[in-house]
A and B are shown apart, each in its own frame.
Chain A
Amino acid sequence: MPTADASSSPLRGILPGLVLIFPALLAIALLYVVPLARSVVFAFVDADGGLTTAHLRTAVELYGRDVVFTVLVALASLMLISVVSIAIAGYLTLGATPWAVTALRWLYRWPLFIPFIVAGQTARNFLARNGLMNSLLIDSGLMDPATAQSLLDWRGLVLTFAWKQVPFVTLLLAGAMASVDRSTVEAARNMGAGRLRCLIEILLPQVRGTLLVGLILSLVTIMSVLSVPMMVIAGNPTMMTSMMAHRVTYYGDYAVANALGLFSYLITAVAAYAYLRMTLTQHNEGAR
């Protein structure tokens, strides 16, 4: 019976794979897909089960400032992360002083392995008005004691996020830069181009995709971390993560928390969309 064989053999071919992957898929469905769907749906459902936009309006009314604050902190962090990562990865690739390259390679990775919660605690100590940073700057004569101030506001958040994420983005960037064809760089150097110019005009355009991936993953992290905003700043405005937790723990109000969650999805989605558009235009340009 050739017909029966034709219908059963493809299934038999994929059956072992399906059986092996099913438990993991089920776990992801229960622990991720269902909560994700709930978080979107319950942002629009009122107490009687009808559709409403009241939660979204409450979220905008009460936490609009926090949403704007979150976006600004995220953008500032990403800018700082890009500048520092490009500088470090560039130096690792083009640096002319071997001992400094080795030292930098050993140094820059440390924060990557330090948990966010510990980073939050160290920032809380280090950046305070009478923290070690100001103490050291005052003792070394670089700062006047009267001008010492606490950095535990948006600046502390930006610095802490950058401290944690720069090693990650640098790791990706340095890897990408190492695999770029060296001959163009050497040629440019021979024609008298400075190192900085080589970095900006030759290396950077070729690793732009990697940089963007690193920045998007960093954005998702910044939008997900709860401990850092809770530990670094007190009061308003603060990050959306902190406000969602506040809404749930103090009011048991899951609906407004979900509405806020929707905004955080949207912000990441906009970034992902911008990335996709950029890579698609690049592809089209390459095809032409």
Chain B
Amino acid sequence: MVMTNLARRGAANLLPAVMIGVCAFVVFGPLTNLFLWAFAEKWFFPARYPTEFGFDFWHRVFRPRAGAWTSLFSSVWIALATVGLSMMLAIPAGYALARLVLPARAFIMLIFLLPQAFPSLPIFVNIAQMFYGLGLNGTYTGVVLVHSLPGLVYAVWIATAAFAAVDRTMEEAARNLGAGPMRTFRDITLPQAFPGLVAASIFVFLDSIDEFTGTFFVGTPDISTLPILMFNASMGGNYQIASITALILLVPSIGFMLVIERFLKADVLSRIGR
């Protein structure tokens, strides 16, 4: 009796166990391969696994003149500047879209949706051609501007949702008690919308750190970000360096996955796009 019960429960758990195993293989298999390459000292065909592990390539990547530090700093500076520019434009725009009377509001929201609704590659190609005429190709300004296009779209959407989620009655109470519109915004609206705005900034930052296409057309060969460094290493067959750079790129992304739910609350999430 007990045996058959156990057997039945075992059978009922077998199928889900196989399914979870397959999923884990599909999700983590490629990532495991990345780890192996990052720490593989020697891995030559026909060896199926690395024959020697070590940190040799990490030293090589982070050698003072190897270019990894330059790319890392470029990436971070560009991302911070992109966040600054995008949020500077998106906070007033999001407030206006969420709170103020605007003609053709639906149309304006649509304009901020369009860049995500059509393939972006021709856009980047034409931005590059325009920037070439303006002397912006191969400059940090040019790369920050091209990163700000997707950045602005995310920022405006999330900022609008964040301001829309702020409790109106508290703003009205502050105004009734004699606070001016600026003071109400600074003391009441902004603190409540703050987590949403932080989430927007994180989104923009990550999007910029991971951005490849725009940098490829506007920045190269003068400006090398981490994705560009990784791409060049990979195309050059230098899998160790490519994998190490890829691991560095994963750090902010995975970190973000772990903290995002703290900043992007359900009440903001449900208002995105409205």
Q: Report whether chain A binds chain B.
A: yes
Chain A interface, number of residues (Cβ within 8 angstroms): 82
Query: By the criterion CB–CB under 8 Å, are A136 and B92 in contact?
Result: no
User: Quick one: which of B30, B122, B145, B212 contacts A122, CB cutoff 8 A?
Assistant: B30
Residues in chain A near residue B24, CB distance under 8 A: 107
Residues in chain B near residue A265, CB distance under 8 A: 118-119, 122
Q: How far is the CB of A53 from chain B (nearest CB, A)?
A: 18
Residues in chain A near residue B137, CB distance under 8 A: none
Residues in chain B near residue A262, CB distance under 8 A: 122
Query: By the criterion CB–CB under 8 Å, are A31 and B32 in contact?
Result: no
Residues in chain A near residue B25, CB distance under 8 A: 136
Given contacts A122-B33, A245-B216, contact A17 B101 (CB under 8 A): yes
Q: How far is the CB of B82 from chain A (nearest CB, A)?
A: 12
Q: How far is the CB of B28 from chain A (nearest CB, A)?
A: 8
Q: How far is the CB of A164 from chain B (nearest CB, A)?
A: 11
Chain B interface, number of residues (Cβ within 8 angstroms): 83
Docked CA distance A20–B159 (Å): 13
Docked CA distance A17–B94 (Å): 10
Query: By the criterion CB–CB under 8 Å, are A121 and B242 in contact?
Result: yes
User: Quick one: which of A18, A28, A97 contacts B102, CB cutoff 8 A?
Assistant: A18
Smallest CB gap from B123: residue in A:
A35
Residues in chain A near residue B30, CB distance under 8 A: 119, 122-123, 125-126, 132, 163
- Report the tally of A-B residue pairs with Cβ distances under 8 A: 242
Residues in chain A near residue B231, CB distance under 8 A: 117, 227, 230-231
Query: By the criterion CB–CB under 8 Å, are A135 and B152 in contact?
Result: no
**What are some 20 contacts across the A-B interface (CB < 8 A)?**
A14-B101, A18-B102, A24-B112, A28-B112, A32-B123, A32-B149, A35-B123, A35-B130, A110-B28, A115-B249, A120-B234, A132-B30, A223-B119, A224-B119, A225-B213, A241-B119, A245-B121, A248-B128, A268-B118, A272-B117
Interfacial residues, chain B to chain A (CB-CB below 8 A): 12-13, 16-17, 19-20, 23-34, 36-37, 45-46, 48-49, 88-90, 92-93, 95-97, 100-103, 108, 111-112, 114-130, 145-146, 148-149, 152, 156, 209-210, 212-213, 216-217, 227, 230-231, 234-235, 239, 242-243, 246, 249-250, 253-254, 256-257
Given A114-B253, A115-B212; 13 other pairs, CB 8 A cutoff:
A21-B102, A23-B89, A24-B93, A35-B130, A36-B126, A107-B20, A121-B34, A125-B30, A130-B45, A220-B117, A227-B213, A231-B234, A269-B118
Complex A-B, nearest 8 residue pairs according to Cβ-Cβ distance, in ascending order: A261-B122, A100-B16, A17-B100, A115-B210, A24-B93, A122-B30, A35-B126, A20-B92
